Structure 1
Amino acid sequence: MTTSNATAAAARHPAGLQVIFMAEMWERFSYYGMRALLVLYLVNAIGYQRADALQVYGLYTGLVYLTPLLGGYIADRWLGTRLAAVIGGAVMMLGHFAMAFEPLLNVALGLLIVGNGLFKPNTTSMVGMLYAEDDPRRAGGYTIFYMGVNVGAFLAPLVAGTLGERLGWHWGFASAGVGMAFGLVAMLRRQALLGRAGLREGQAHIGWKDLPTALAWCLGSAVLVVAVLAFAKVAAAPWAALPGLGKLALGAAVLAAVAWLPGKLMAPQARQPVTPAEVQRMLAIGLMAFFVIFFWMGFEQAGGSMTLFADEQTDRHLLGWEIPASWFQAINPVAILLMAPLFSILWLKLDQSRYALPDPAKMGLGMIVLGLGFVVMAMAQTRAQAAGTVGPLWLTSVYVLHTIGELMLSPVGYSMVSRVAPARLVGLLMGVWLAGIGVANYLAGALEGLLAGSGIDPYVFLLGSSIGAGILLLLITPLLSRMMNRRD
């Protein structure tokens, strides 16, 4: 093989990336279909007040990203990464179909939360398993994986959003379930391309012999959801009577328990003593997970306050036709599909040059760009309050700026976790990373309520929090880089 051919072969990504790309694409179609419709459905169909709908949205999306902490542990401890992802996808499919029936709303949301906890951290971890630890293609591979996420995210508002807003809400939710079914088929039919990624020792592939285990976990998930809902109904009155500080303290205690329990019950092979270098690398991941809360708290306004802004304060009429409010959520994935290949090339070139940026620096710059989007959003809000509505280009420009910030932060973060985490703890630490996003999602929905009465505009608060966190992250980048690169 000539040198040029060898270089070209090295630049190609593993075939298994195609499998995870397709599975994640359809799973994200299902998730973003739900995301596009949930707040609009709660406000316009069920009659929720704006603050209540945003609270439900924040709680749902927060738990969707918090449960991966347990999902990664379950994969490391019992199921293996690949089987856990398959089971999670099946539970999510059931949840989406349950959303087609209004009386099952809470059960459906519970199934989606549990299923995503098993699916998300494990498909994300499998991408890293396709590459050697020092493979320079890893960051580019996660960017390509991220394109799969955003193909699904682009299709979801156009298909599920249109069906939901025009034909009937439950048609939109059911279409998300069909998308999840396609994702499962994509993963199972072409899993040979994944090689050994995500399999337990001695396991050749996921097949019919795993069906009893999968059915047992699906049934157990449904029972768990029903039990939690029953407990929540009993606990609703005491919770409402609890003062704000008490709720905060109890929530912090639950988060601490969720973080502590997996480590305490860790599998023997994963419970090996951690070395000082591994402690520093794990601490670096934890610190970065804290910082990205400020990014996602702003970014996830897309499915909440920004969707309501599109519905209520944006002039959506075009040639006598009204653009569905959910369609604005398609701007972000379109921008990602256009720009992700450029960022993939950019990171590869930079990382191989003298101008390489450490991962924390890339992510800090992404937070600052997100803040610039909220500068535009605050201006749009002011104009809309004066004139009633604003043109669609305001939201479009905000989504594009947020997308640039996302491409500088999200795929870089996933790649960083898979590279820095000790191999025996990668599922758990990917769950920690996603749990940080979960906290941010909850805060995104609760933000208006938390700021009520303070006189602070939420968009002004978000531009300050994201830019401030980005600057601080840039300042401590040298320290974080040393911690992440420590080896025994």
Structure 2
Amino acid sequence: MTTSITADAVAKERQPAALPMLFLTEMWERFSYYGMRALLVIYLVNSVGYSRADALAVYATYTGLVYLSPLIGGYLADRYLGRRKAILIGGFTMALGHFAMAFPALLHLALGLLIIGNGFFKPNIGTLLGSLYRENDPRRDGGFTFFYMGVNTGAFLAPLIAGTLGEKVGWHYGFAAAGVGMCLGLAQFVYGQDKLGTAGFIGNKTRLDKADWMHILLIACGMVPLVFAILAVWSAIGPVWNSLPAIAKLLVVIAIIAGLWFSNKLSGKAKTQEPLNKEEWQRIFAILIMGFFVVFFWMGFEQAGGTMSLFADKQTDRHLLGWEIPASYFQAINPLGIVLMGPFIAAIWFKLGQSRFAIPTPAKMAIGMIILGLGFVVLAIAQSEADRVGQVGPLWLVAVFTLHTLGELCLSPVGLSMVTKLAPARVGAMMMGVWYLANAVANYLAGVMEELLKNTGFPLYSFLVASSIGAGIVLLLITPLLKKLMHGKG
């Protein structure tokens, strides 16, 4: 017997039962990541003795690889592991990395474990959530917005807890707190896995068995010798890589990405999967175009953990009633703003979506990029004032973070949702990895852009005003073309 789902029935249907569990899992994972990010640059400068340029270079490499590794993790989950096992492998590996950060001698091992663990975890948690919805499910955007609020609840708590411990008690207490957060996320995911049904498995299983747990623990622990091996190889080839011009490095990265992509395609053929049809390729092309544009957004936005963190530490008067506010606290403004403004923005998108004034996904993202550029207008003025008088008041950064948060709400939740709607199911996690690749490029550029502009005479924040607003305007202009490529799915 067949049944039809009416519009009224869909409207009354609740979100998937697993959504709160995935919310809490992601919340604790983001607590661990943002606790680490809030401390890394100022720790390297104030405790380890890195120069500003070297600390930003480490930040660029770390955050860039954090968003590049999901391309590999998504591929492995799609083909071999399944999303549920990949998430747990990633979580255990990241927990090891955070606890390793508590020991100064293990800095590079810790960063390597965090990068690899994130690669397993990040593309698969969002894709797992997307798999719980039907095609064209009207609940999807609301579910992803709720999920995104989980991300930012963890990101809000991280600078306050890990930041306070790190800056006021001891740096390594702050890093250990991030590790505890990751363990809480793992416990939440394991405890709530019954609500997922068969989602996240290759096959029709509903629970992890002993063999699955053996695989998870062996692979996670195996990441420790793998990182040591990578570090040994890097000690030999690192000087050669560092001597390459930027364009050569970019070409190498593109070659690696292309190799992974074609390997994924050939693997799919070997498993007799149907080839992608014309419409599916057009939808993938739309993802790639929008991924190119979001590079300009995240290149600016991710200044938060780099130059803006140092601006808060060195050029902001943080004294309040005899107490110095930790510099990391400013990074809590963004997630707090998302939690407070997120429901309001989601309601606007929903209301517009039910009317003839519906705004397509590319236009929403373009609006976010323009708002980000306005934030850098404020920051450019604040930097000029700080250069003149030494330090400025904290309200300058409050205003910048608020504008950046509003821009992020216009771009990031709908972008994640868009990938799960447009990507063909058999390459879903892989395409989520490609989406995060744009973040990888952007995060790397965010860390090195100040150094790249050093000899041009072009101030960093003025450059980011032009790149953010300019890219946003171009994306608005090509929105009609993207709508055609999306075939009504965005």
TM range (shorter): over 0.9
Q: Determine if contact 1:144/1:344 at 8 Å carries over to the other structure.
A: no
1:49-448 counterparts in 2 under 5 A?
A: 49-266=51-268, 268-269=270-271, 271-448=273-450
**Cα shift at 1:486:** 6.6
Deviation at 1:135? 0.9
* Cα distance per residue 1:177-196 (max 9 Å; x no partner): 00000000000101111222
Which letter maps to 2:384? Answer: T
The separation in 1 between residues aligned to 2:362 and 2:62, in whole angstroms, is: 28
| Per-residue CA distance 1:437-466 (angstroms, 9 max, x = gap) | 111001000101111110001101111001
Residue 23 (structure 2) aligns with: 21
Q: Which residue of 2 aligns with 1:482?
A: 484
Change (3 A) 1:145 1:162: same
1:16·1:195 contact (CA, 8 Å) conserved in 2? no
Q: Contact 2:109–2:228 at 8 Å: present in 1 too?
A: yes
Higher mean alpha-carbon deviation, 420-429 vs 478-487, is at 478-487
Deviation at 1:264, TM superposition (A): 3.6
The one-letter code sitting in structure 2 at the alignment partner of 1:322 is E
Moved more, 50-59 or 230-239: 230-239
Contact 1:82 1:199 in 2 (8 A): yes
Q: 1:195-231 CA deviation, whole Å, 9 max, x = no partner?
A: 2221221322124331111122113322221111111
Contact 1:278 1:486 survives alignment (8 Å): no
- 8 Å CA contact 2:67–2:440 kept in 1: the answer is yes
Distance, in Å, in 2 between the alignment partners of 1:179 and 1:135 is: 32
SS in 2 for 1:265: helix
Q: In structure 2, how many angstroms separate the alpha carbons of the residues matched to 1:251 and 1:75?
A: 21
Find the aligned partners of 1:126 and 1:410 in 2 and give their Cα distance.
17
Deviation at 1:249, TM superposition (A): 3.5
Q: Secondary structure at the match of 2:130?
A: helix
The Cα of 1:40 is off from its aligned counterpart by: 0.7
Q: Which moved more, 1:191-200 or 1:175-184?
A: 191-200
* Letter in structure 1 aligned against 2:138: P
Residues 370, 468 of structure 2: 8 Å contact kept: yes
Aligned-residue Cα RMSD (Å) equals 1.7
Instruction: Tell me the CA shift for residue 250 of structure 1.
Output: 3.2
The one-letter code matched in structure 2 to 1:337 is V
Structure 1 residues 266 and 96: alpha-carbon distance in aligned structure 2, compared to 1, 3 A threshold: farther
Partner of 1:9: 12
For residues 298 and 242 of structure 1, the distance between their equivalents in structure 2, rounded to whole angstroms, comes to 25
Identity %: 58
Tell whether 2:431 aligns with 1:466. Answer: no
Q: Is the 8 A contact 2:124 2:429 kept in 1?
A: yes
| Equivalent position SS for 2:358 | coil
Q: Which amino acid aligns with 1:131?
A: Y
Separation of aligned partners in 2, 1:181 and 1:93: 6
Shift of 1:101: 0.7
Does the C-alpha gap of structure 1 residues 244 and 17 become closer, same or farther in structure 2, counting only changes over 3 Å? closer
- Distance, in Å, in 2 between the alignment partners of 1:4 and 1:362 is 25
Distance in structure 1 (CA, Å) of the matches to 2:327 and 2:214: 43
Cα distance between partner residues in 1 of 2:10 and 2:275: 39
Q: Which amino acid aligns with 1:433?
A: W
Tell me how far 1:239 sits from its aligned partner.
2.7
Q: Which amino acid aligns with 2:45?
A: V
Distance 1:17 1:303 in 2: 29
1:343 Cα deviation from its structure 2 partner: 1.5
Any gaps of 5 or more consecutive residues in structure 1? none
Output the CA distance in 2 between the equivalents of 1:265 and 1:226: 29
Deviation at 1:270, TM superposition (A): 7.6
> Which whole-Å CA distance do the structure 2 matches of 1:314 and 1:22 have between them?
34
Paired residue type of 1:16: A
Amino acid at match of 1:481: K
**Which TM-score applies when normalising by structure 1?**
0.96
TM-score when normalising by structure 2: 0.96
Query: Which stretch shifts more, 252-261 or 227-236?
Result: 252-261
Residues 197 and 206, structure 2, Cα contact 8 Å, conserved in 1: no
Contact 2:39 2:328 in 1 (8 A): yes
| Cα distance, 1:103 vs structure 2 | 0.8
Contact 2:269–2:275 at 8 Å: present in 1 too? no
Q: Distance in 2 between matches of 1:424 and 1:452?
A: 45
Does the aligned pair in 2 maintain the 1:70–1:262 contact within 8 Å?
no
**Which of the residues 436, 450, 453 maps onto 2:452?**
450
